[in-house]
Chains A and B, each alone.
Chain A
Amino acid sequence: MTLACAPDTAIAAPGAKRDVLRERGQREVFCGLTGIVWLHRKIQDAFFLIVGSRTCAHLMQSAAGVMIFAEPRFATAIIEERDLAGMADANDELDRVAAQVLARRPDIKMLFLVGSCPSEVIKMDLSRAAERLNAAHDGVRVLAYSGSGIETTFTEGEDTCLEALVPELPAEDPDAPASLLVVGALADVVEDQFARLFDMLGVGPVRFLPARNASGLPPVGPNTRYLLAQPFLGRTGAALEGRGAKRIAAPFPLGARGTEAWLRAAADAWGVDRERFETVVAAPRARAAKALARHREALSGCSVFFFPDSQLEIPLARFLHEELDARLIEVGTPYLHRGHLDCELPRLPADVLLSEGQHVDSQLDRCRAARPDLTMCGLGLANPLEAEGLSTKWAIELVFTPIQGFEQAGDLAELFTRPLRRRDVLRVS
C-alpha cells in the first residue's frame, strides 16, 4: 500500500499521463560499478570486490580520481585468460582473492562481491560464491550484487547494493511502534540534519539505509514506513515492500520546497500537527529561501537541458523550474520509475520533453538545435559542448556533493549558476 502524495499547494492537479520519448541507441552513461565510489565512503567497514576485467579496474580508477590513492576499500579481481580458458577454476580463484582481501584488511565486516559485465556474461554465480565465502570466513558477512553496465546505469549500482542488503536487515518486532526508514545514501552532514529535524518533529524512531556500519543495519517489518531520499531505488523499494514496509509518497528533498514536502509527508504519516511542523521548519526554510533568492536572479528564464545520467534529473528539473524559474527544454533520464516519481512528475510544466533511455547523437542534435543556456551532461560531453559555445554543468558532481535538505538548497543552486557566472566573467576567447 502506498500513501497518497502529501498535499501541497505547489502541486498541480495530476493531469493526464505524460508522454515520454523512449529512445534506444548509444548511451553515454556510467555503469553501476561507479556507485562504489560513494558507497564505500558511506559504509565504513565494508569492502567492495569487483569481479571483472581490466576495463572495470580502469573505470574505477578514472571515476575515483585521487581517492584511489587513499587505500580505498574497493578493488577489482581481474579475470585473466587462464580463468576463461578453464585452466584455473574461476570459483577457486575468487575464493583465493577474497581471502587475500580479508587477510589484508582484518577490519572489514562486510564484503560485497560486485558483478560486472564480464562476470555476468560468463555466468559466474556470485551469489553462490558469497554463500561459500560466508561459510569459510567467520565474522564477515559476504553479499553479492550486480554493478554491471548490462544491468545497471550509474546510481542503479546503489539500488542493487541496497537491494542485496534488505534481506540482511533484522526483522522488526511485529508489536513495535511505527518506525521511519530513510532510504538512500546521503552525505553524513545531510543525514544528521534530517535526523535532527525528524527528532524535533517527533517523527521516529528514524533509521537510515545504508547505515554507517555493517553491524548497525536497521530493522524492518510491517510497521516500517520508508521514505526515499533518492529517486533511483526502484528495486530496493520493492524489496522493502516484500518485507512488509510501506512507502511514504513524497517528492525528493531537493530545494526548499522539495525538502519541506518530503518532511511533511513523513510528518503527516505520523500525525504531526501543522503548527508544530511550522515551528520546526520555519527557520531553516527561511534560510534556504534567502540562499536561493540570489541564484533565482541568475537562473530565472534560463533554458535548461538534461542529458540522462543518474535518475536525479526529474527532481532536479522540478527544483530548477519551481524554485529558480528556469525554463526546461528536455529532461532525459536513464530510467523513469513512475511510481516513485508520482509526486515529482505533476510538478513539471506541461511543455517539457521527457525522455527515457538515450540515442546520444540524436539527443545532441536536439540539444544543439535548442541551444540551451545550461546543459547538464556527463564529462564525456561537457567539454565538447563547451567548445561549441554551450554552457554545461557536469552531472556527476550532483551525486558527490551534499545537495539535499534546507541547508544545502543554496549550494545546489550554486552548482547550476556557477557555470553561467563563469561564462559571464571570462573576458577571453
Chain B
Amino acid sequence: MKLTVWTYEGPPHVGAMRVVTGMKDVHFVLHAPQGDTYADLLFTMIERRGHRPPVTYTTFQARDLGSDTAELFKDAAKDAYERFKPAAMLVGASCTAELIQDDPGGLATTLGLPCPVLPLELPSYMRRENWGASETFYRLVRGLAGPYAPAPGEARAERRPGPPRCNLLGASALGFRHRDDVKEITRLLARMGIEVAVSAPMGSGPQDIARLGEADFNVVLYPEIAEEAARWLEKAFGQPRTTIVPIGVSATRDFIEEAARLAGVDPAPALEDGDLRLPWWSRSVDSNYLTGKRVFVFGDGTHAAAAARIAVEEMGFELVGLGAYNREFARPVREAAARYGVEALISDDYLEVEAAIEAAAPELVLGTQMERHIAKRLGIGCAVISAPVHVEDFPARYAPQMGFEGANVIFDTWVHPLVMGLEEHLLGMFREDFEFGHDAGPSHLGAHGAPRAAPAAAASEIMHELMPAAPARPAGDQPETADAVWREDALAELKKIPFFVRGKARRNAEVYAAECGAEVITLETLYDAKAHFGR
C-alpha cells in the first residue's frame, strides 16, 4: 500500500476515456461500480466539453455482486449499442470490476453486436492513466487498421501519386494544449507541402483509424500516447515515424528536418517563420536579467525534456533540477538531465518533488498544477508546462506549445512570473516604505507574508523563519546549523535580499558560518558567504 494525497496520473481507465472522448463514432462500455462516473466531469468541466464522454458505466452496487454483474454488463453493452449505434465499441473494466473478474471482452463477444468490439485489459493496480491511453490507442489501431496490413514480409505498396501524407498521432481529450498543437503542426507541415491524412485519436473515427496505413509516415506528437501504436504501424505498414517532439525553436527546426527527410521534401519553406519571435525576444536587452536564472523543471517526460532544452539553450536559464512523474518515459529525462549536468528525479510522490525544489532553491519552477501550488507555498514564480493541469490551462485563446507559435507562447508564459519577480525586487528596494514593508509579503505570489494588520505576529513569524533554533519551529525541520545565531544588523541586511533568493542566502550564510566555526553570523559573515558561494 502506498500513502497518497494526490496523484499526477489517474487510473488507466481514465486514459482509455481520454482516447475515446476525443474520437467520433466510438463508444466505451466500462464495467465499474456506482461512483466511477466522477471521471465524466474531468471532460465536461476541466476541458469544458459540451457533450458527455461516450462512455457507458455499468454502475453496479453491492446488491448486484455475484453472477448478476455479468448480466448487468451485457445489458449495458446491448443498450449502449442500441442507443448510440457506434461504428466500433471498446469494453473494459475499472479497478473494482477487475477484482470481480467478469470478462468484459468475452461477455461482449457473446452478444454478437454488429460492430467491431475491442476488449481492453487495464491493469489498474500496476499501471496508470498515460499507459491506459497508450494501450487503448494501440488496441484501436491494431483492431481497426490491422486487418488492412499487408502480410508480414510483403513489400510496402507503391505510394500513391500526389503530395506526401502523414498521420498526426497522440492528441487526446484532456491533453495539455493538444487542440492547438495539432493545428500548429498541421500548418507547419502544410508549408512543406505535406498533407495530414489522419489526426488520431482526437478528431478521428473508426473509419479514419482503419486507413492509417495509407499515409507515408507518422508524426508522433505525444510519445506517451502514440509511441506504441506508431511502432506497430512501422512494423505492419513500413511507415517510418518522427522521433523529435517539436516543442521549442531548435526542436521544431530539428523536427522539420526530420519530417522533410521522411517526406522527401525541402524543409526550407518551413524553417523560417516571420512570426517566430522567441529568438529576438530572448536576445533583446530586456531579457538580460534572465541569464542564469535558476529553474526547476518537472512534468511528463516529453514536456519536461523539451522544457529543459528551451530553458538552457533558448532562454539562458540555469537548470537546477529536472524530473518526470511517468516512469515509462524516464529515459529522455535522464538523458536531458545528464546533458545539462543535473540529476533526474523520477518520482510520482509530490512530497519528494517538493523536497527537491526546496533543496534546489530555484527562482522559477516549470511544472504541473502540483508544482504551481508547491511554488506558491514556497513563494517562487511558476509556469505550467505539463498535465495534470486545471481548468485555466484549457484556455479559450490559441495557445499551442509546439511549433514556432508555441515557442512564442512559451516565452511569454515563462517570463511572466519572472517579470512579477522583478517587480517584487523593485518593491523590495522600497521596503523601508510602509506600503512595501517586509510584512506586506510578496503580493502576487500570495506566499507566507502575513497581512499588515498584524505586524507583531508577522514579525515574530519571520523571526522564527530566520532563526532556525527558535522553539516554535517543528522538530525535524531544523537545518543542521541550528546553533547559528544571527546578529541583528545581519538579519536586517538579510531582509533586504529579494524574497525568492532569501532562503538560499540564509542557508549559505549558515553553512559558511558552520564551516568557519563562527558562532555568530554578522554582516561580515553574510557578505563573506556571498563571495564564497557567489556564482
Contacts and interface: CB of A to CB of B under 8 A. Distances in A.
Interface of A: 25-33, 51, 53-55, 57-63, 68-69, 72, 74-81, 83-84, 88, 90, 93-94, 96-97, 100-101, 117-118, 120-122, 148-151, 153, 361, 378-384, 386-387
Instruction: Give the one of A54, A100, A120, A378 with max B CB within 10 A.
Output: A54
B96 to A, nearest CB: 4
Interface string B1-29: 11111110111011000000000000000
A149 B94 contact: no
Interface of B: 1-7, 9-11, 13-14, 33-42, 44-45, 48-52, 56-62, 64-65, 76, 79, 83, 94-96, 99-100, 123-126, 128, 370, 373, 377
B35 A53 contact: no
A28 B99 contact: no
A57 B4 contact: yes
Given A380-B44, A384-B50, A386-B50, A149 B4 contact: no
B34 A31 contact: yes
B1 A97 contact: yes
B33 A54 contact: no
Contacts of B57: 26
B36 A55 contact: yes
A72 B99 contact: no
Instruction: Give the one of A53, A88, A117, A153 with max B CB within 10 A.
Output: A117
3 closest A-B pairs by beta carbon, nearest first, are: A149-B35, A31-B35, A387-B50
Contacts of B35: 29-33, 59, 117, 148-149, 153
Contacts of B60: 150
B370 to A, nearest CB: 8
A429 B94 CA distance: 38
A290 to B, nearest CB: 34
B11 A53 contact: yes
Contact of B41 (A26, A72, A121, A378): A378
Contact of A121 (B1, B7, B83, B96): B96
Contacts of B14: 55, 58
Instruction: Give the one of A78, A88, A97 with max B CB within 10 A.
Output: A78
B37 A29 contact: yes
Given A55-B10, A77-B3, 6 more contacts: A25-B76, A75-B5, A81-B125, A117-B96, A149-B36, A379-B41
A382 B44 contact: yes
B44 A383 contact: yes
A57 B6 contact: yes
Instruction: Give the one of B1, B61, B83, B128 with max A CB within 10 A.
Output: B1
30 contacts: A25-B59, A25-B76, A28-B37, A53-B125, A54-B4, A54-B11, A57-B5, A58-B14, A59-B35, A62-B38, A62-B42, A68-B5, A75-B4, A75-B5, A77-B2, A78-B2, A79-B125, A80-B126, A81-B125, A81-B126, A101-B3, A117-B96, A149-B34, A150-B61, A153-B35, A381-B52, A383-B44, A383-B45, A384-B49, A384-B51
A378 B52 CA distance: 12
Instruction: Give the one of B11, B95, B128 with max A CB within 10 A.
Output: B95
Contacts of B61: 149-151
